């Protein structure tokens, strides 16, 4: 079991930062690596050709290890929208004209599909969540599986829903997608790094993951896996470094028709990013050392007591098996005064997010028990009173507005 890693971060004791799904904090040692990386630009005479290639090679190796895949299939990109644009540019639809995704998917994994659907006359089926709270995740997964039919060319979603951590059974979804010859495209931004993700098991056709959340890296970097379907694909931009033998700087204007091997062609221009690359690399190495499974177990165990008490107070929170431990939604089920709750969060420096009709709580290894105690105190302060009695009834599972 992993111990609390708070001392490796710069979060003050009076700050209860439960918002890793928004932005992760940078570890102290990564801050130092970042400072050194910035300083390198002051000494351009120390930057050699190898610096363009070696650090990104190491980064790709680390990410490949994290998701248990082959490093030659990894590309360095700046954002999820960039990675998804590459995917949408390279799919032949033929007779299968349907794209399946979940309701309220994150926009970076929606807009490119919407544009493509409008251009090519495709349909997007956004599978709705169930209104039966107790069965929400089970029904939602079943509805997704039901939506995947012989018309379906693409299924695209995350391992968990970004707003409330609802768990999607990617193994079952992969199986159904394979049966109908559909591609599986994963946005791993809200899970990879905190929830185990194994490419040997999931066999996704593409995986896109921003670095600034659960990979504990900086903003402006993301990683992508592209499978064999994309082998001869077209990148969304043409840059010099993706071309074969770009290492030969004196030969760059002997223009080269061929790309570098594997997924290299899909990398963004200036992918060597001398500042971000060493930080993301060291962050992933740290995750590998901790073990992603241990990160998930830590988050689950840390939040267990508070989740139990919030449910006792009438909040709706998915059962552990149906959601992630590092990201989950609390629906206040009309039992709390929302203004009071938000004021309490502000006053006691509790950082969470409001997403959809849920309060999203997203802990990580830098959080401790005190953070959850203070979160619980805020809810206690905001409990609605019915007459003179504080509302503690059992759950009403019919409605769950915030
Ligand atoms: C699920 C998910 N995907 C992607 C992103 C970020 O997308 P982009 O890298 O295009 O800014 C976020 C940010 O919150 C997210 O939650």
Q: Give the pLDDT confidence of 142-175 residue by residue, as tens digits.
A: 999 999 999 999 999 999 999 999 999 999 999 9
Q: What is the pTM of this model?
A: 0.95
Ligand 1 pocket check: which of 19, 88, 106 to mutate, most ligand atoms within 8 Å of Cβ?
106
Residue 79 has pLDDT above 50, yes or no: yes
Answer yes or no: are the C-beta atoms of 9 and 15 closer than 8 Å: no
Domain positions in the chain? 6-26+291-390, 29-290
Give the lowest-confidence range in 45-49, 75-79, 132-136, 390-394.
390-394
6-26+291-390: CATH, from 3.30.1360.70, 3.30.70.580, 3.20.20.150, 3.90.1150.10: 3.90.1150.10
CA of 106 to the centre of ligand 1 (A): 6
Class of residue 368 by CB neighbours under 10 A (exposed 0-12, middle 13-18, buried 19+): middle
CA of 281 to the centre of ligand 1 (A): 20
CA of 224 to the centre of ligand 1 (A): 13
Q: Give the pLDDT confidence of 295-313 residue by residue, as tens digits.
A: 999 999 999 999 999 999 9
CA of 204 to the centre of ligand 1 (A): 18
> Which atom of ligand 1 is closest in space to residue 210's alpha carbon?
9
pLDDT reported for residue 130: 85
pLDDT reported for residue 227: 98
Class of residue 46 by CB neighbours under 10 A (exposed 0-12, middle 13-18, buried 19+): exposed
**C-alpha closest to that of 295 among 213, 372, 206:** 213
Q: What is the mean pLDDT of the chain?
A: 95
- Give the pLDDT band of residue 390 (cuts 50, 70, 90): low
pLDDT exceeding 90 applies to what percent of the chain? 92
Residues of 294-315 as b/e, b for ≥16 C-beta within 10 angstroms? Answer: bbbebbbebbeebbeebbebbb
Mean pLDDT to the nearest integer, 1-21? 97
- 6-26+291-390 and 29-290 share one CATH topology? no
For residue 95, the tally of other CB atoms under 10 A from its CB is 7
CATH topology of domain 29-290: 3.40.640
Mean pLDDT to the nearest integer, 92-121? 97
Q: Give the pLDDT confidence of 337-376 residue by residue, as tens digits.
A: 999 999 999 999 999 999 888 999 999 999 999 999 999 9
Backbone angles phi, psi at 69, to 5 degrees: -140, -170
pLDDT reported for residue 389: 61
Pocket of ligand 1 (CB under 6 A): 79-81, 106, 108, 158, 162, 187, 189-190, 210, 222
Distance between CA atoms of residues 165 and 168, nearest Å: 9
pLDDT reported for residue 386: 67
Distance between CA atoms of residues 320 and 303, nearest Å: 10
pLDDT reported for residue 356: 80
């Amino acid at each position: 079991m992993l111990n609390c890693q708070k001392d490796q971060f710069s979060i003050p004791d009076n700050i209860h930062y439960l918002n890793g799904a928004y932005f992760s904090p940078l570890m102290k040692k990564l801050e130092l690596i970042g400072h050194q990386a910035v300083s390198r630009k002051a000494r351009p005479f120390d930057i050699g050709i190898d610096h363009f290639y070696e650090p990104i090679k190491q980064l790709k190796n680390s990410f490949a290890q994290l998701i248990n895949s082959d490093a030659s299939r990894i590309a360095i990109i700046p954002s999820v929208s960039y990675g998804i644009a590459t995917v949408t540019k390279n799919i032949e639809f033929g007779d299968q004209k349907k794209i399946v995704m979940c309701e309220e998917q994150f926009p970076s994994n929606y807009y490119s599909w919407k544009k493509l659907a409008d251009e090519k006359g495709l349909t997007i089926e956004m599978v709705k969540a169930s209104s039966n709270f107790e069965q929400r995740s089970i029904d939602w997964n079943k509805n997704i599986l039901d939506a995947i039919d012989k018309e379906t060319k693409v299924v695209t979603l995350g391992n968990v829903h970004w707003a409330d951590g609802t768990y999607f059974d990617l193994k079952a979804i992969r199986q159904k997608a394979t049966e109908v010859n559909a591609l599986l495209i994963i946005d791993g931004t809200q899970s990879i790094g905190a929830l185990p993700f194994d490419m040997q098991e999931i066999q996704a056709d593409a995986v896109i993951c921003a670095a600034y959340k659960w990979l504990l890296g900086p903003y402006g970097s993301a990683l992508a896996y592209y499978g064999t379907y994309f082998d001869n694909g077209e990148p969304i931009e043409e840059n010099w470094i993706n071309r074969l033998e770009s290492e030969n700087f004196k030969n760059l204007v002997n223009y080269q028709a061929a790309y570098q091997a594997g997924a290299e062609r899909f990398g963004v221009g200036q992918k060597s990013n001398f500042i971000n690359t060493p930080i993301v690399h060291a962050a992933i190495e740290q995750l590998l050392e901790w073990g992603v499974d241990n990160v998930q177990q830590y988050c689950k165990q840390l939040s267990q007591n508070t989740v139990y008490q919030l449910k006792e107070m009438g909040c709706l929170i998915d059962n552990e098996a149906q959601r992630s431990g590092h990201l989950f939604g609390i629906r206040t089920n009309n039992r709390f005064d929302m203004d009071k709750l938000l004021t309490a969060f502000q006053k006691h420096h509790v950082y969470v997010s409001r997403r959809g009709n849920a309060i999203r709580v997203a802990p990580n290894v830098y959080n401790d028990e005190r953070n959850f105690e203070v979160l619980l105190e805020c809810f206690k302060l905001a409990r609605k009173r019915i007459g003179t009695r504080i509302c503690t009834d059992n759950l009403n599972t019919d409605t769950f507005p915030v």
